[in-house]
Structure formats: structure tokens, C-alpha cells
Amino acid sequence: MIDWTTLRHRIDTMANQLLADQSPDGAWRMCIDCGTMSDCYYLTALRLLDVRDDPLVRSLAARIVSRRSPDGVWRLFPDEREGSLDATAEAVLALLLSGVYTDRDPIIVSAKRFIREQGGLAKVRSFLTQALLCAAGIALWPRSLQIPLSAFFNKSGPLPRLFELSGHARVHLIPILIMANKRYALRTAYTPDLSDLFLGAPPRFDNDSPVIAALNNLIGAFSGLLTGGNDSLYEPAVTFLLERIEPDGTLLTYSTATVLMLFALNAVGRLPTDPILISAINGIRTLLCGNPPMVQIATPTVWDTAMLAFALREAGISPSHSALRRAARFIQERQQTRYGDWRIRNPGTSPGGWGFSYVNTRYPDCDCTTAALRVIQRSHGSPTQGHAAAAEPWERGLNWLLSMRNDDGGWPAFERNGKPLPAGLFGFNGASEILTDLSTPDLTGRTLQMLGETLGMSTQQRWLSSSARWMLSQQQKDGSWYGRWGITYTHGTGAAVLGLTAIGLTPDHPAIARAVKWLLSIQRPDGGWGESCYSDQRRHYVPLNFSTPSQTAWALDALAASLPALTPELERGVNALLHMLETPAQQLTRYPTGAGLAGTVYVHYESNNWIWPLLTLTRIERKFRRQRG
């Protein structure tokens, strides 16, 4: 049985706490924890570029050490059994560069032992880890990253083939190509000697193999690709980066891309005293969050504010409440008016989307735009046909979102009609997630849900029926859907079922019935749901040995949308979620239920323990409370 009084009390308690935590400008500022990669990147940049800020260096070192597991290694997620070679290598480099630790410290000794047991630094597979080690002079640049700039640039600027890669890939890859072509290695008095971690072999990576043949398959044959003569192309490559610097000095708001840009600019002769480098270093500083401070990969302020405001409205807070009016104003002010790279594959559409970060002005995404549209007040009931630049913000946002729909019927994150990579193009962990931006069931599901719930759209519209067919084609044989931006099949299935039912699929539809059966089959003994990040790596469901609030909420959302009445399984799930939420907010699980790059980056959104449980409890109360009284 569900104690409805307890459930309503939990909704009210969460809502009141969120109202108290709102910033005066209307935003909610919560942290995202992506592990220690960004911390290691920033600390390495501070030391190698001789930025004198010892208190910050010490605090970053403390943060990195705080994420060390009891067995002496670093993990990408808590249940990663063997530990992460890449994360441990980054930590060893950063901690030794900090000067706080030496080779003789037990923390370093045990970490080095683990690296050797894993086969040494030659076994590092993340291209972001490899780039950091190479920039610091620890390893030789892989031949696979020494792609001549002529592959992507001519003297007039970038070639069209560059934009076949995802936006986040471009701003990470171009700085790396600049450094790799320059054989850049910045060594200072702080640089440690890690040659022993290559186990007597040259300082190269095992997956260092030329990819030119495969690259040709992706972007066409290049004339004279392997010849030199790239010096004249550094200028357009650097210009490409400078044109994508955000107002806070960061490169497209990503801390890791900004560090790579710092090194790339230094590689072409810019000194650390250059105003652009100083602005970038200070921009990363604004990404610090928490205690000890961690470097976020980007600030989630727009996403968090939009989704929390939506959850509060669903929980019963009036849209006229001052908190929701402030939130709507904050969101509306961050609607983008500049053309970004998305325009290349979506010409003829005016700007109108929203980005993830509060300083993002040129890299909008579909998920944040969907969230923002739920919050801002629209003036009319349908998107304007033409003259979008002069339309109301809600209409401009909706027009942009609808224009981003891929030809296959799904929605991407950032840019429409991306192309899949040839199999085995790069031997790096997470290469396909880094380099491509395809339709995904989770983003498409949330978009369909908004269109159905907000505009009353359904599969009676032919184009939306096409989107539904694409979604159905993505269902796994076991009844689940893969979720690209959350962990993983629980996340994708929850979003898919909510989206499909919102546009008219009935609960007895075979796809919905299979999804319900799958969700019930993975319900944990405690009544909740928990899925491991291994699911993202292995591309099949892997259970977690405990339940998490966000994954339990995603599963309950799908069940509540599909089941006509309360069932024992649904009741057990609700009670499990309520039990989890009895834990003080600061003690709730920090398990990363957000996905970044498979095998490289997993994300704990602080807001995940608020947004999804609050939405789920509210929906369940609204639908089922009257049935049981």
C-alpha cells in the first residue's frame, strides 16, 4: 500500500527545499560530477603554464585524492571492479605535477603499482587521457592523431568534412591535431618522470596505428594527405577555435576542450600571458563547484533550472509564483540568438534554442530546448510559419526544435543528420560517442513527450507518426530502449515509453507491453531499480547492487504511464523511492546515472536526485490517488 499522506509530504518537502535553494536571479546552481578528468586537466594546465595559484592547486589535488578508492586506484564509477587505468594515470600525473605528492608517497606508489599491473601506460585507451600525457611530455604523440590539418582545413578556413563530426568532437579534436602536428610537449620543473610506467618500452600507446585508410572511407580521399606543408593551415585552425570561445573565455563551455585549446595556442607560439589564455584559465575557474572544489566539465545551470522549475510546477506550485516567474525569466534570457555550427546542416532556420550552460551562446541542444519550452510562457498555440526571428521566444524555440528533427524521425543532441562512423575507425574508448551525434531514443522520447503534453500532438500527424515508427524500430529484443545520455536501458526505456504514450500509443500496444514486462523483470528485491554504468560500456543491461532514486523514478514513470491501475510492483517501487528520499539530500547516492562518453566519462547530476523523483511522485499521485482513496 502507498501512504498517500507520506507521498504528498515528500513532494511538499522537496518543493519547499528547492524554493529555498533558488538563487535570486531565478536559477538553481547544482553541481555535476564527471569524475576527476576535468580536475586533472585543469591542474595540469595550471602547472605547465606556470599559473601561480598554489591554494587552488592544493585544493584540486585534495579533490582528486578524495575520489581515490580504498584499494588505491581511481574508478569511473563505484562498481568498476578492476579500476580505471585512464583515470589513475591522469591522477598520478596531476598529483605529481601539483608538488603536493612525490613518487615516495603511498598514494603514488599504490597507483603506479596498479598501472603496471594493467600493462603500463601503453594500455591507456582514452584519447583524452593520451592527449594529456602527450601534452605533458610523458608520451609520444600517436601516429593516429597526427592527421595533417589539410584533412579539415584549407587557407580559406574549415572544409565541409570537418562538420561531419559532432560539435563537441571538433572542439576537442582540432586542438589535439594542432598539438600532434607540432609534436607539442610542455615540460617544466614540475614534470615527473613516468618512463618506468611504459615498462621498458618506448613511450607509445598500444592502440597507436594509422587510421588514414579508414578516415578516407569517412570523409573521402585526400590529395597528398601524408605530405607536409601544413604550416599555413595553423592560422585557420586557430581561428576556428577562437571563433567558438564563449563570453566566459571557455571553448564552447567545455573545461576539457578549453585546456586543450590552451595547450594548442601555446603550441603555435602564444604565451601564457596572452589575454585569450588568461581569459580561458579564468573561465575554467568559474566551473569550480563543491567542497573541495571540483572542475565541472560544464555548468548545468540552464538544464537544471528548466527541469526543476517544470518539476515544481507539476508538483503544484503555481506558474504565477515568484520563484517560477524568476526561473522563466532566467531561462528566457538565455535563449540563443547567434548562429552556431548547427546552421550548416540546418540552413534556413533562425536561432532559438537553449544550451546546457548559462554562458552557452552558440551550442544549443535539443534536450535543453525541450526543457526550456516547458517553462517559458508561450504567447500563441502554434509555431509561427516563417519570420521566426520576429516571433515570440516560445515560438522561436519550438521552430528551432522542430527543424532539428533528423530525416530518420528522431532527434539528436546538437546537430541534425549526423552520420555513423565506419566500424573500427579509431581505437579509442568512446570514439563513436565523441565523434558522432545521431538520433537517440532518450532525447527523442522527451521531445515527443513535450509535444504531446504541451501541444496535444499525436501520431495523427504524419510526420510525428514517422518519429514514432523510428522509436519503435529502436526497441531492443528484450523490450528495452538504449539511453545515450543516462544510464542506460532504464533511462532510455523510461523516456521512450513516456514519449510514445504522450503522442497516442496505448498501454496495450505490443511495444509498451514488452517494455513493462522488461522493467518488471529487472525490479530489485528492495522494490527499486538500479543499473550499472557497465550497461553503457557493454551495450547490454547490467544490474547495480543497489537502487538509485533517478533510475527508480525513470522506471516508475514508464510503469505509471502504461498501467491502468496500481499494482503490487508499482506500489513497491513507490515505497522504495520514498524510503530512499528519507535520506538527507547531502547523503543521497552519488552514483553517476548520467552518461558522457562510454568508457571515459560518467556523470552524477546533483539535480537527478530532485528532478526525476519529484516528477514521478507527482504523476503517480495525480493518476492513482483517487483509485485507492
Question: Residue 12: inside a domain, yes or no?
Answer: no
Domain that holds residue 156: 32-295
Q: Within a domain: residue 324? A: no
Predicted pLDDT of residue 251? 98
Distance CA(256)–CA(171), nearest Å, equals: 10
pLDDT for residue 422: 64
Last residue of a domain, one of 250, 266, 295: 295
Report the C-alpha gap between 108 and 91 in whole angstroms: 9
Torsion of CA 489, 492, 494, 498, to 10 degrees: -160
Structure confidence by residue, pLDDT tens digits, 252-297:
999 999 999 999 999 999 999 999 999 999 999 999 999 889 999 9
Which residues, including other chains, have CB under 8 Å from residue 165's CB and lie 6 or more apart?
173, 435, 436
Residue pair 148/178 in contact by the 8 Å Cβ criterion:
no
Same domain? 186 vs 52: yes
- Give the pLDDT score at 219: 47
| Cα–Cα distance measured from residue 460 to residue 465, given in angstroms and rounded to the nearest whole number | 7
**Is 285 domain-assigned?**
yes
Of residues 54, 120, 62, the one with CA closest to residue 91: 62
Determine which helix (DSSP H) or strand (DSSP E) holds 90, and give its type and residue range: helix 85-98
Domain for residue 393, yes or no? Answer: no
Residues 208 and 78 in one domain: yes
Grouped pLDDT means (10 residues each) for the chain, 629 residues: 96 98 98 97 98 97 97 96 97 98 97 98 94 98 86 88 91 95 95 97 84 47 44 92 97 97 97 98 97 94 98 96 97 96 96 96 97 78 42 91 98 94 61 82 98 95 96 98 97 98 97 98 98 96 97 98 96 97 80 90 96 98 81
Percent of the chain as helix, strand, coil, to the nearest 5: 50, 5, 45
Last-in-domain residue among 278, 295, 312:
295
Terminal alpha carbon distance of the chain = 11
Global pTM value = 0.94
Retrieve residue 398's grid coordinates.
519550438
Q: Are both 79 and 219 inside the same structural domain?
A: yes
Q: Last residue of some domain: 295, 323, 346? A: 295
Q: Is the CB of residue 328 less than 8 Å from the CB of residue 393? A: no
Task: Report the C-alpha gap between 313 and 326 in whole angstroms.
Answer: 13
Measured in residues, the chain has a length of: 629
CA-to-CA distance for 175 and 185, rounded, in angstroms?
A: 13
CATH of the domain at 159: 1.50.10.20
> 137 with 278, same domain?
yes
Partners of residue 251 on adjacent β-strands: 245, 254
Half-sphere exposure of 187 (CA within 13 A, CB side): 11
DSSP 407: T
Q: What is the pLDDT of residues 32-79, one digit of tens each?
A: 999 999 999 999 999 999 999 999 999 999 999 999 999 999 999 999
Q: How far apart are CA 394 and CA 339, in angstroms?
A: 18
Asked if 549 and 613 touch (Cβ cutoff 8 Å), the reply is: yes
* Inside any domain, residue 339: no
Task: Determine the pLDDT at residue 225.
Answer: 41
CA distances from 466 to 12, 26, 85, 145, 541 (A): 40, 38, 43, 40, 27
Q: What's the pLDDT at 423?
A: 54
Contact 181, 228 (CB under 8 A): no
Answer whether residue 197 is part of any domain.
Answer: yes
**CA–CA distance, 578 with 487 (Å, rounded to integer):** 21
- 3-state class of 230 per DSSP? coil
Query: Which residues are identified as catalytic?
Result: 367
Count of structural domains, the chain:
2
* 623 Cβ contact list (under 8 Å, min separation 6): 560
C-alpha cell at 431: 570514439
Q: Which long-range contacts (CB under 8 A, 24 or more apart) does 417-426 make?
A: 417/345, 418/164, 418/166, 418/345, 419/164, 421/218, 422/214, 422/217, 422/218, 424/214, 425/211, 425/214, 425/215, 425/217, 425/218, 426/127, 426/144, 426/211, 426/214
Neighbours of 275 (CB within 10 A): 9
Helix ranges (DSSP H) in 506-606: 510-521, 534-538, 549-562, 568-581
Q: Is residue 461 part of a domain?
A: yes
DSSP state of 428: S
The verdict on residue 241 lying in a domain is: yes
Give SS3 for 595. Answer: strand
Per DSSP, what are the bridge partners of residue 68? 74
